[in-house]
Amino acid sequence: MQKKIILLFSFLLVGVFAFAQTAAQRQQQYNLDGKHLALEGYDPVSYFQGKPQKGKSEFTAEQGGVTYRFASKANQEQFKSTPGKYEPAYGGWCAYAMAAKGEKVEIDPLTYKIVDGRLLVFYNAFFNNTLEKWNEMSISEKERLAKADRSWGKFLGK
């Protein structure tokens, strides 16, 4: 009996440690502010509703060490039910830079596109709108996504 308890405790400890590593990796790789806040505080669910909105500090959810804010309790609950559906692709870094150069580049949270159910965000400052560049790339959107996916996988060690 005692061996079973020790074995169970060991599995739980390993599981907690593995999750902590994942959270630490996500915090290191994702585009976050100093408080582990994603999308500069914008509500990830609101993008899929057609209008990005700033989230409120009273409506938050953490997903693997990354904190998201929401404009409403309903959006918070919707995110909690299927977080993978709403998290930005490429850790919230510029999708164009990830596809074109395999680089992490800051974003403008109001410059975005939903492609195949995925939230892509882009850099847009100093007369450089990378969403426009993304749309003008000579390869298909499917190929752009595949290229960005490969680049992002390298950051994650895949």
Q: What is the pLDDT of residues 48-69, one digit of tens each?
A: 999 999 999 999 999 999 999 9
Residues 56 and 77 in one domain: yes
Residues 93 and 59 in one domain: no
The residue from 66, 86, 106 where one domain ends is 86
- Torsion-angle region of 41 (φ positive above 0: left; ψ -120 to 50: alpha; else: beta): left
Q: Residue 76 carries which side chain, given as an amino acid letter?
A: Q
Residues 75 and 111 in one domain: no
Q: Which residues of 40-49 are buried (b: 16+ CB within 10 A; e: fewer)?
A: bbbbbbbbbe
- Say if CB 122 and CB 129 are below 8 A apart: yes
Structural domain including 7 reads 1-86
**How does pLDDT run across 83-135, given as a tens digit for each residue?**
999 999 999 999 999 999 999 999 999 999 999 999 999 999 999 999 999 99
Residues 102 and 79 in one domain: no
What is the pTM for the complete model shown? 0.84
